[in-house]
Structure 1
Amino acid sequence: MGETTRRRAPGMSPEERRAMIIASALPLVAEFGAAVTTKQVARAAGIGEGTIFRVFEDKDELLAECVTEAFRPDQVAREIESIPLDQPLADRLRTAADALAAHLERIGAVVGALQASGHPAGARSLRHKKDRSKPPRRPDGHGVRDAVAELFEPERDSLRLPSDKLAAMFLGFLHTRGRMGDSAGVEPADLVDLFLHGAFKEAA
């Protein structure tokens, strides 16, 4: 008689399950803030609600983990590292600026939704986290800065400053966009052009 016993797929480790639940919760937190329910998160993750409380102490810990995940720069660093260096420098920087803008908007959506719903998002909420968790890193961490610096390398002999200094200045320049407000209408591409060419029009 042939073998009929089905092998069970290996289960997730606790850390893998935590990561899966956080990924499912993030868009819900950005939409509903602290009003999101663990039932909604469980439904989005395709798990039972009780599973959440086997890997998180309570909903506050899950929300704090979502804040941490929103700040993580890993994904945006990988996106910037994948930009082809044979593109013109302006195109490389515009692609990087778009990726960074999307990352900052995600942070704003998550933290803003939590604060709007009365949750102490940010440092206060992160105090609830257990010691094993690391504090959030800002998107201008070393990984992102190194990835941006690499974008300047093909033109390094023509640059006025070293690539690492230009990367730090470029990231600081982009962060000013968030403080301008929507009414300013400044797009990431506008800041790239201003960074590379200054405020003056090119001579005819």
Structure 2
Amino acid sequence: MDRRRVRARPLTPQERREALIDATLPLLYAHGRAITTKLIAETAGVAEGTIFRVFDSKDELIDAAVERAFAPGEMLARIEEIDPEAPLREKLLKLAAILQQRFRAIFGLMRTLGQMGPPKHLLDEDGRAAVEQTRAAMVALIAADAWRLSVTPEMLVHMLRMLTFAGSNEQIADGQLLTPEQIVDTLLNGVQKI
């Protein structure tokens, strides 16, 4: 029996960047910008110098992790998993829960990082396109129910996002967060045709 150790294929620089971002993101939620490259390296299971082979600085790595946190990929995938044939209320409840989890995570990250507003990358063309892609997916999900509404699906999604945003922020909601049920029932009772 051959007992030679088989070495794992070395990661490409892009794969190494992604692995370091993956390791850094949860640390940001816990420690903010006070994390050290030593802690990041330990969490990623690499030598500290490895970080600087793919990132110019700790700040560049943190910025990449923050950008990942705001990327809509996971949220968009969860929206696309919702059954478009489900009843309207059920679809809205799932959307409200997804949005609420997203907003609460982002608010927590921003608070830990000491940020008052969204990262700059969300304000550029790509950032706006990502937000629009998510909004379009939500509109498409409820489009078949347009006949039941007194507002357009676009307006309903806007209202859902705004009420969920406000109802998920500790400061805006005066510490009384809204549940997805409260958000959706408030919307439906105000927009559903009788």
Same fold by TM-score greater than 0.5: yes
1:142 corresponds to which of 132, 140, 148: 132
User: Relative CO higher for 1 or 2, CA cutoff 8 Å, sep ≥ 6?
Assistant: 1
1:196 corresponds to which of 165, 184, 188: 188
Distance 1:122-1:90 versus aligned 2 partners, 3 A rule: closer
Distance 1:139-1:25 versus aligned 2 partners, 3 A rule: farther
Larger mean Cα displacement after TM superposition, 176-185 or 22-31: 176-185
Equivalent residue letter for 2:160: F
User: Are residue 168 (structure 1) and residue 158 (structure 2) matched?
Assistant: yes
Q: What's 1:80 paired with? A: 79
User: How far 1:146 moved relative to its partner?
Assistant: 1.4
Equivalent residue letter for 2:63: A
1:159 corresponds to which of 149, 172, 175: 149
Q: What's 1:185 paired with? A: 177
Distance 1:121-1:113 versus aligned 2 partners, 3 A rule: farther
Residues 134-175 of structure 1, C-alpha deviation per residue, up to 9 Å, x if partnerless? 788379811211121122123223233332332233222322
Residues 46-98 of structure 1, C-alpha deviation per residue, up to 9 Å, x if partnerless? 22211111111111111111221121112111101101123221111111111
Does the Cα contact within 8 Å between 2:166 and 2:173 map onto a contact in 1?
A: no
Q: Given the two structures, how large is their TM-score scaled by the length of structure 2?
A: 0.81
Q: Name the structure where helix makes up a greater proportion of residues.
A: 2
How many residues align structurally?
188
Distance 1:46-1:182 versus aligned 2 partners, 3 A rule: farther
Distance 2:129 2:186 in 1: 21
State the SS of the aligned residue for 2:86: coil
Distance 1:107-1:135 versus aligned 2 partners, 3 A rule: farther
User: How far 1:37 moved relative to its partner?
Assistant: 1.1
Q: What's 1:130 paired with? A: none
Distance 1:136 1:187 in 2: 31
Q: Given the two structures, how large is their TM-score scaled by the length of structure 1?
A: 0.77
Equivalent residue letter for 1:47: V
Distance 1:123-1:82 versus aligned 2 partners, 3 A rule: closer
Residue identity (%): 31
Residues 96-131 of structure 1, C-alpha deviation per residue, up to 9 Å, x if partnerless? 11111111122122221121xxx898547x7xxxxx
Larger mean Cα displacement after TM superposition, 165-174 or 106-115: 165-174
- Structure 1, unaligned runs of 5 or more: 127-133, 200-204
Does the Cα contact within 8 Å between 1:14 and 1:55 map onto a contact in 2?
A: yes
Matches of residues 1-204 of structure 1 in structure 2 within 5 Å?
8-115=7-114, 123=119, 137=127, 141-177=131-167, 178=169, 180-181=172-173, 183-198=175-190
Distance 2:21 2:39 in 1: 12
- Structure 2, unaligned runs of 5 or more: none
Does the Cα contact within 8 Å between 1:69 and 1:136 map onto a contact in 2?
A: no
State the SS of the aligned residue for 1:85: coil
User: How far 1:14 moved relative to its partner?
Assistant: 2.1
User: How far 1:196 moved relative to its partner?
Assistant: 0.9
